[in-house]
Amino acid sequence: MNKVKLGNQGLIIPNVGLGCMGMTGFEDADMYGKTDEKEAISTIYRSFELGGNFLDTADLYGPFKNEKLIAKAIEGNRGKYIIATKFGWEIDDNEQITWKINGTRDYIKKSVDRSLKNLKTDYIDLYYMHRLDKNVPIEETVAAMSDLVNEGKIGYIGLSEVSSETVKRAHAIHPISAVQSEFSMFERTVEEKGVLKTLNDLGIGFVAYSPLGRGFLSGHIKSINDLPENDFRRGIPRFQEKYFHRNIELVKAIEALAEEKNITSSQLAIAWIISKGIVPIPGTKRRKYVEQNIDAGKIILTENDLAKLESIVPLGTDTGAPYDEFSMGLLDY
């Protein structure tokens, strides 16, 4: 697999990561359909065999179930993996999500120790602030994360869904290695808001989460009724009545282009992100998909391919909001 530098602090990762969120349930529901622990662990192994040793998780996923699953999968091989996890959605001592964001020093200290325990490790390679706590200055949050670097508990610092201004303020306190935000052919807010340019100027890496538009760009979802009753995506405007029919037409055009190139539309969506110097972390719980996604890391798109894609989904295309109103309010834009 091709390797890339993520930020300027020394982190080197494969050019396609593995998003693990969908491998475990979330509270009482499954995120993206039925989970299967055995297949999920086999997916992590298969990814590793193919060079895909960059795993993305968060304490929120489960909560904690996802970190524990990863611990199980990588047991005995910790040093061979690069683990990214996140803190910030507040989880209380009864393991309940409070639905508040907490970026205070005390909470960070508690969160990192909990994640280390759940991951059965003594260090986290890349530790992200999952969402900005708008009641705590970013300087305070990053200073606390910086202390974790000095203590050897984490290797590198990342932030998720932050604005250019927040990144600049954070980077002045401690070098930020990565920002992770939603980015795909259906979601280009970070490009529109100038975040990608800021990261480029500061030498900070960008990791694209939900690079397949939460599966929409795979072309496998033909109707909202294809999604299980308790599927997370049913609550997202992009998948709802108003936008679904428009978006599915865009997906069909992307699929047609992928077919011309003898690849899948998921692979085209991943290759398009890589062509921008961005690391996608497609999420899957199946060996078959992880193989295809890693293969996509070898596809080189021509200028002509890229122009055709841009003409299908030009910057600024309105595909609907990526979250419900509550979660949109937690983004830093």
Ligand X SMILES: NC(=O)c1ccc[n+]([C@@H]2O[C@H](COP(=O)([O-])OP(=O)(O)OC[C@H]3O[C@@H](n4cnc5c(N)ncnc54)[C@H](OP(=O)(O)O)[C@@H]3O)[C@@H](O)[C@H]2O)c1
Question: Residue from 220, 234, 242, 276 that binds ligand X (CB under 6 A)?
Answer: 220
- Minimum distance from CB of 251 to ligand X (Å)? 12
Query: Which one, of 60, 54, 77, lies nearest residue 156 by Cα?
Result: 54
- Minimum distance from CB of 319 to ligand X (Å)? 13
Question: Residue from 127, 186, 206, 289 that binds ligand X (CB under 6 A)?
Answer: 289
Spatial contact of 167 and 159, defined as CB atoms under 8 Å apart: yes
Query: Which one, of 48, 44, 47, lies nearest residue 71 by Cα?
Result: 44
Alpha carbon distance 132, 137 (integer Å) = 9
Given 32, 45, 61, 128, which residue is catalytic?
A: 61
Identify which of residues 131 and 153 has a Cβ nearer to ligand X in the complex: 131
Interface map 4-43 toward ligand X (x if CB under 6 A): ---------------xxxx---------xx----------
Hey, which residues does 4 pair with through a beta bridge? 13
Question: Residue from 89, 292, 301, 313 that binds ligand X (CB under 6 A)?
Answer: 292
H-assigned helices in the chain: 37-49, 65-74, 105-119, 138-150, 164-171, 189-192, 195-202, 241-260, 265-274, 287-296, 303-312, 325-328
Q: Contact between 228 and ligand X (CB under 6 A)?
A: no
Residues 6+ apart with CB under 8 A from 74: 44, 55, 80, 81, 83
Interface map 53-82 toward ligand X (x if CB under 6 A): ---x--------------------------
List the structure tokens of 325.
């109103």
- Minimum distance from CB of 34 to ligand X (Å)? 9
Identify which of residues 14 and 215 has a Cβ nearer to ligand X in the complex: 215
Spatial contact of 297 and 2, defined as CB atoms under 8 Å apart: yes
Q: Using the 8-state DSSP alphabet, how is residue 206 labeled?
A: E
- Minimum distance from CB of 235 to ligand X (Å)? 13
Span interacting with ligand X, options 93-101, 114-122, 207-215, 315-323, rule CB under 6 A = 207-215
Q: Contact between 284 and ligand X (CB under 6 A)?
A: yes
- Which residues, 158 to 177, sit near ligand X by CB under 6 A? 160-161
Strands 54-56 and 82-87 come out as parallel
Query: Does the annotation count 81 as an active-site position?
Result: no
Q: Contact between 266 and ligand X (CB under 6 A)?
A: yes
Taking the alpha carbons at both ends of the chain, their separation in whole angstroms is 34
- Which residues, 113 to 142, sit near ligand X by CB under 6 A? 130
Hey, which residues does 14 pair with through a beta bridge? 3
Output the DSSP codes for 56-93: E--TTTTTTHHHHHHHHHHTT-GGG-EEEEEE-EEE-T
Q: Contact between 283 and ligand X (CB under 6 A)?
A: yes
Identify which of residues 150 and 278 has a Cβ nearer to ligand X in the complex: 278
Question: Residue from 212, 268, 271, 274 that binds ligand X (CB under 6 A)?
Answer: 212
Question: Residue from 158, 211, 297, 322 that binds ligand X (CB under 6 A)?
Answer: 211
Query: Which one, of 46, 51, 67, 183, lies nearest residue 114 by Cα?
Result: 67
Residue positions annotated with a catalytic role: 61
Residues that bind ligand X (CB under 6 A): 19-22, 32-33, 56, 130, 160-161, 180, 209-215, 218, 220, 266, 281-286, 289, 292-293
